[in-house]
Amino acid sequence: MKVHALTLFAAVTLAQAGALSLSGTVGGTVTPDTRLSAWTVKTNGQPAEELGGAAIKDSQFTLTLPAAAPASENLRPVDSRISWPGIVDFEKTSASAQAAELRFYTYRDQNGNGMRDENEALREVRLNTGKGVVFVVWASNDVVVSGSKGYQASLKQGWNALEVEVRSSVSVRPLEARTPLVINLGP
């Protein structure tokens, strides 16, 4: 069984209107109909609302998230119900806020219509930086999330792309432009 890596050299951009774009290149073998998509998730982790998608063409893609807030039914309080990577014990937030957790999926666009259809299976993938994982979340206002082992995530209103590195302590920082990202498309 071959393991293929989708290598993304991120150009993380936050446009004036608050839209977030992730651009990259692909290393490894990807079928011509493979798309990368970004979804808000329900409290049980199931995909809820597709917010962005991108075809992977000539080993490159750009996935842009809208500046607008996710649908209100996909927002929930900033608390322990969000899957904060690297957090062992959620402690507190600096203010009350609503958030939408984002997860990434690939699928094969079998009919070539540029969007996911019910019969096109989603496969969750993680964006990694080599040092940590990438976590993308939308927040209704500025808020700081605190947890055990020094976990502290500062969120700004709108989209936030964070790099979370877990060692003896946890480091959470904004994802820097040009950070090489990797998605492993295992078996």
Q: Is 170 left (phi over 0), alpha (psi -120 to 50) or beta?
A: beta
**Confidence (pLDDT) at 25:** 63
- Residue 136 scores a pLDDT above 80: yes
Condensed to tens digits (0 to 9), the pLDDT of residues 51-86 reads 999 987 876 778 889 989 999 999 999 988 888 998
- Residue 3 scores a pLDDT above 60: no
**Confidence (pLDDT) at 38:** 95
pTM of the model: 0.85
Cβ neighbours for 116, distance < 8 A, ≥ 6 positions apart:
35, 37, 50, 53, 107, 109, 122
In sequence order, the β-bridge partners of residue 173 are: 163
CA atoms of 173 and 187, how far apart (whole Å)? 31
**Confidence (pLDDT) at 135:** 94
Contact 145, 152 (CB under 8 A): yes
Secondary structure (3-state) at 119 = coil
CA atoms of 119 and 111, how far apart (whole Å)? 10
> How many C-beta atoms surround the C-beta of residue 71 within 10 A?
12
- Residue 180 scores a pLDDT above 80: no
Interval 26-49 mean pLDDT: 87
